[in-house]
Amino acid sequence: MTAKKKARENPLRGIARAIDAAGRDADLARRTASDPAFRRGLQKDRRGTLSRFRSVRQALADREKIEKSKKPKA
């Protein structure tokens, strides 16, 4: 996708993607919440285990973008 097409993308599409990802992640979380292996993974490496969820990966990517934009350019 070119930069022009990406810039003209409908903002509602992004919102719809976020809602869709959250719904899928909620379903996955309900199914894996009682899994003993998942619980052990959370205790060992919380960020790595939770990054299986798309909405968590998107939030981490957004956080990194914000941190990069705040850093002063030398």
For the stretch 1-23, pLDDT in tens is 555 555 667 888 888 888 888 88
64, HSE (Cβ side, Cα atoms, 13 Å): 6
Diameter over CA atoms, the chain: 49
38, HSE (Cβ side, Cα atoms, 13 Å): 12
Task: Look up residue 46 and give its DSSP letter.
Answer: H
DSSP, collapsed to helix, strand or coil, labels residue 8 as coil
Task: Provide the Cα torsion 52, 37, 41, 63; round to 10°.
Answer: 20
pTM over cut 0.85: no
Average pLDDT along the chain: 78
Residue 49 has pLDDT above 80, yes or no: no
